[in-house]
Amino acid sequence: MNRSARLLCIALLALTPIIAFTGCKKQQPPRQSRFSAGHATAQIEVNADHANQLPMLVASARRAFNSVWSGFNPTNRAGEINKINRMGSEYRLQISFDTFRGLDLADYYGRLANGAYDFTLGPLREIWGLDGAPPDEPPIEEEIAALKNIVGPDHIQLAEQGAISILTPGTQIRPGELPYAYGTDLAILDMRSRELGPALLSWGSFTRALSQPGDTFSAQAALQNPFNKTNRLGSVDLAPAAALATADLYKESVTIAGIRYGGIINPLTGHPATGAVFAAVRGPTCTMSHVLAQSLIVFGLEKGREILNNFPDCEVLLIPDKQPVEIWMTPASRSTSKSTRR
């Protein structure tokens, strides 16, 4: 069956009703550990009978997060992304396997998303005031068109030998939330190699379960209501080993000449996205789910349907940028997401 036709409208809401989270009851409260990594908060949750593993799980996550953040943070002059942006147009640079693999996966999934995801949008973010002071007026089309000539995956060359080069002077890598998604995946791989778990790991907008079929661990991840941050849309079951990524158009925003723009740029137009205000994707990895979630923010409901067939292992919840508010999700998401009205 063609998945492009399988997004179903499950609820029509006004802004005043609240969809409240309902989770599974646990016999004993889980044990949690929270810590800062990069510019986000990380959390690890385990059942009470695995509380002795928390220190090892935290150590594993910190190693992965610190390594990824050090390499991917574009403001870290010693990091690989910063080095690529400074020297990649002059030299073909050999980079670490982890950095190369993260960029390569994001590039691959971005192409599956028909160009709706792009990690080279720094120049466009700057003229829209998302990375710097907001302009007095929106940028003119000629300026946007000129910058579109230096953004896009075709301006970056990723060689099979783990090398990278920038083909067009002025092109820059701005990974956005990719380090959080990819870092969560790497942390789970490290935990698995050390035979740790079961556990639930979150970093920023990304959550992934470390568990096996048959585990009694309740891997429930909450979905926050983008219109009311004190309430939740529902919960997503990530057992036994699934990932969740969310994308919120107004997680960051800029106001120009009295108009508020969301913080996700549409690579195809060079303008801030207007397709959807919120997307949640349950998939095999946080990296894949991140690319699809952000692409659905860009494309919205109608065009978003067209790329679902390219991500057959993902389930989606989408809130289009329209009034009255609608919530759409793929059918399987209805069985993994729990919500009630009150």
Cα–Cα distance for residue pair 165/163, rounded to 1 Å: 7
CATH of 3-337, one of 3.60.15.10, 3.90.700.10, 1.20.1090.10, 3.10.520.10: 3.10.520.10
Measured between alpha carbons, how far is 93 from 159 in angstroms, rounded to an integer?
Answer: 10
Rounded to whole angstroms, the Cα distance separating 17 from 109 reads: 36
Instruction: Per residue of the chain (342 residues), give pLDDT as tens.
Output: 455 545 666 543 332 222 333 444 445 788 999 999 999 999 999 998 889 999 999 999 999 999 999 999 999 999 999 999 999 999 999 999 999 999 999 999 999 999 999 999 999 999 999 998 999 999 999 999 999 999 999 999 999 889 999 999 999 999 999 999 999 999 999 999 999 989 999 999 999 999 988 888 889 999 988 888 788 888 999 988 999 999 999 999 999 999 999 999 999 999 999 989 999 999 999 999 999 999 999 999 999 999 999 999 999 999 998 878 889 999 876 555 544 332
Domain residue ranges in the chain: 3-337
> How many whole angstroms separate alpha carbon 212 and alpha carbon 215?
6
pTM: 0.90
